[in-house]
């Protein structure tokens, strides 16, 4: 059985700029063959069990020759695999996509193409430069600074100097002096605006602006490195900066929630510009072995108390196992620690009677005490802290705890992550993370003080959300990022 190959353009590097079709194919592929300019965040979208094959090429260095790449694609397809050939930018703009398509079809391999946002336009835009603008340019010419193997790079400088509009040179970091000399020698004024966009659409993006006569020296002084592109023409004088719209840009944030919980939080962070790595640090698993559950009888408690959305999920699993439904608890009132837990209960048809103003166990206990609660049943994790039971005891309320699930994740080989922030929604998430990962220098964004205390014990500098919710965690990170960027601007000035 023959598989198929899709040539997919990965865009400039930001996973948010990958097409929906490209992301869908990537999530389903058995094998992904990728180039150097594909960002790690985009590779995160691949299936966890997908075979990842790095055939990265850089200027002057081709670890895997094109002929061998062709062979890899054919072999994988002939093994019956769904293959994504992932290329930075667009596969048909200096991406050798046409060559690979022709070779695959000649070998009888089905092949499709998913266009991508070319870095010639996308990376320039991320760097604040529109390649066309009615006041400056009505045309754009894209030039590669690489020649076919065995050939030398010899652009027609006179034609390029005369064409007008915007000139975009891809992969031109090492050729800036040659570009300037060639264009000036062909008659273009050395005062023509020019800019270099480094890592456009990726973490560490920056733009260096100057003139055709100065840009090579400015880029060298700034330490500009590949990947970068050069823009020559009036539009290079523009700085259409939209970084205020993406205050989390250049921040890598680790989300430690599980696969079912992470997408919403991760998506919110990504919309504000963050590079998000999803690394579940807990794996909630049902465990109904507590003797307390065996002794439980409906009707014994005035309140049913839930301190997490997972607690709700496993409560209903336990009910099903017992052969009960919610009618067994008719007359009991329901308390939830916060809005996420309340939403989970309401999604299952239960109206929540109490959510504290501050979403943590201490304030939940205070709110229950204010209702003069005499007895309550709390459905929780085995690893839950004693804050709720301790505070309830102080108020004279009987609290019976019924553990339903365990949060700890099995240990394994310790990996390393390069990140600015790690987000934690529970103390067990902190413990699970440090068992699996190291993130040197990363700060911890915590959902509440108890979680922050655990993170501090394990060596993190912490920031705590004002409310125990993912919305409040996002707000805290946005506030801090904006403040730190403002401070950086002041120092720069």
Q: What does the buried/exposed string (b/e) look like for 474-483 if buried means 16 or more CB atoms within 10 Å of the residue's CB?
A: bebbbebbee
> Which of 252, 197, 244, 243 has its CA nearest to residue 222?
197
> Which of 447, 441, 481, 450 has its CA nearest to residue 463?
447
Tokens for 230?
């050069």
Tokens for 237?
């004088």
Task: State the pLDDT at residue 56.
Answer: 80
Phi first, then psi: give them for residue 253, nearest 5 degrees.
-120, 130
Angstrom CA distances, 298 to 66, 326, 400, 409, stand at 69, 10, 13, 32
State pLDDT tens for residues 49-89.
999 999 985 545 557 888 999 999 999 999 999 999 999 99
Helix (H, G, I), strand (E, B) or coil at 151: coil
Task: State the pLDDT at residue 168.
Answer: 97
The DSSP bridge partners found for residue 285 are 406
Q: How far apart are CA 317 and CA 312, in angstroms?
A: 9
* CATH 3.40.50.10090 domain position(s) in the chain: 252-282+411-489, 284-408
Task: State the pLDDT at residue 34.
Answer: 96
* CATH 3.30.950.10 domain position(s) in the chain: 121-241
> Which of 381, 429, 449, 385 has its CA nearest to residue 257?
429
Helix (H) or strand (E) holding 208: strand 206-211
287 is catalytic: no
CATH class of the 5-117 domain in this structure: alpha beta
Catalytic entry in 35, 90, 250, 420:
35
Q: How far apart are CA 162 and CA 182, in angstroms?
A: 12
- At the second CATH level, the architecture of 252-282+411-489 is 3-Layer(aba) Sandwich (3.40)
Phi first, then psi: give them for residue 334, nearest 5 degrees.
-125, 130
* CATH 3.40.1010.10 domain position(s) in the chain: 5-117
Residue with tokens 């608890």: 329
CATH 3.40.190.10 fits 121-241, yes or no: no
Task: State the pLDDT at residue 409.
Answer: 67
Question: Could you say which residues of the chain have pLDDT below 50?
Answer: 59
Catalytic entry in 24, 30, 54, 57:
57
- At the second CATH level, the architecture of 284-408 is 3-Layer(aba) Sandwich (3.40)
Say if CB 392 and CB 365 are below 8 A apart: yes
Helix (H, G, I), strand (E, B) or coil at 355: coil
Say if CB 254 and CB 419 are below 8 A apart: yes
Angstrom CA distances, 453 to 166, 424, 425, 430, stand at 55, 11, 12, 10
Helix (H, G, I), strand (E, B) or coil at 94: coil
> Which of 276, 249, 253 has its CA nearest to residue 423?
253
148 is catalytic: no
Residue partners of 267: CB distance under 8 A and separation at least 6: none
Residue/partner pairs of 187-193 with CB below 8 Å, 24 or more apart: 187/158, 187/161, 187/162, 188/161, 188/212, 188/232, 192/232, 192/233, 192/234, 193/232, 193/233, 193/234, 193/235, 193/236, 193/237
């Amino acid at each position: 059985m023959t598989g198929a190959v899709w040539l997919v353009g990965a865009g400039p590097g930001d996973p948010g700029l990958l097409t929906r079709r490209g992301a869908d194919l990537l999530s389903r592929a058995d094998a992904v063959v990728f180039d150097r300019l594909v960002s790690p965040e985009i590779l995160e979208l691949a299936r966890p069990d997908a075979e990842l094959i790095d055939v990265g090429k850089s200027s002057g260095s081709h670890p895997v020759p094109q002929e061998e790449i062709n062979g890899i694609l054919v072999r994988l397809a002939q093994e019956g695999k769904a293959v994504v050939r992932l290329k930075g930018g667009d596969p048909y703009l200096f991406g050798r996509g046409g060559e690979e398509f022709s070779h695959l079809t000649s070998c009888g391999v089905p092949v499709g193409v998913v266009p991508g946002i070319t870095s010639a336009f996308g990376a320039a835009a991320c760097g604040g430069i529109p390649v066309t603008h009615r006041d400056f340019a009505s045309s754009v010419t894209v030039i590669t600074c690489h020649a076919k193997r065995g050939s030398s790079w010899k652009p027609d400088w006179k034609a390029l100097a005369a064409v007008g509009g915007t000139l975009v040179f891809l992969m031109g970091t090492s050729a800036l002096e040659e570009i300037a000399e060639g264009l000036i020698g062909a008659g273009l004024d050395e005062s023509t605006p020019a800019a270099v966009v480094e890592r456009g659409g990726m973490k560490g993006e920056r733009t260096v602006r100057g003139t055709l006569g100065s840009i090579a020296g400015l880029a060298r002084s700034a330490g500009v490195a590949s990947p970068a592109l050069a823009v020559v023409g009036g539009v290079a004088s523009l700085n259409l900066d939209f970084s205020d719209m993406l205050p989390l840009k250049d921040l890598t944030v680790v989300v430690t929630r599980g696969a079912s919980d992470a997408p919403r939080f991760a998506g919110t962070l990504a919309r504000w510009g963050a590079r998000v790595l999803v690394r579940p640090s807990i794996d909630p698993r049902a465990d109904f072995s507590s003797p307390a559950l065996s002794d439980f009888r409906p009707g014994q408690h005035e309140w049913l108390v839930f301190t997490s959305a997972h607690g709700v999920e496993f409560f209903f699993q336990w009910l099903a196992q017992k052969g009960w439904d919610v009618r067994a608890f008719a007359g009991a009132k329901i308390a939830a620690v916060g809005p996420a837990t309340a939403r989970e209960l309401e999604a299952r048809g239960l109206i929540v009677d109490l959510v504290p103003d501050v979403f943590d166990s201490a304030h939940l206990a205070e709110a229950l005490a204010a209702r003069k609660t005499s007895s309550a049943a709390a459905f929780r994790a085995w690893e839950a802290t004693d804050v709720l039971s301790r505070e309830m005891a102080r108020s004279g309320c009987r609290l019976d705890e019924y553990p339903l699930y365990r949060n700890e994740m099995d240990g394994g080989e310790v990996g390393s992550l390069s990140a600015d922030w790690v987000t934690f929604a529970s103390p067990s998430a902190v413990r699970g993370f440090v068992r699996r990962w190291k993130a040197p220098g990363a700060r911890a964004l915590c959902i509440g003080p108890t979680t922050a205390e655990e993170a501090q014990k394990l060596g993190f500098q912490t920031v705590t959300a004002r409310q125990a919710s993912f919305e409040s965690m996002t707000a805290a990170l946005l506030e801090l990022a904006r403040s730190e960027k403002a401070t950086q601007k002041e120092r720069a000035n």
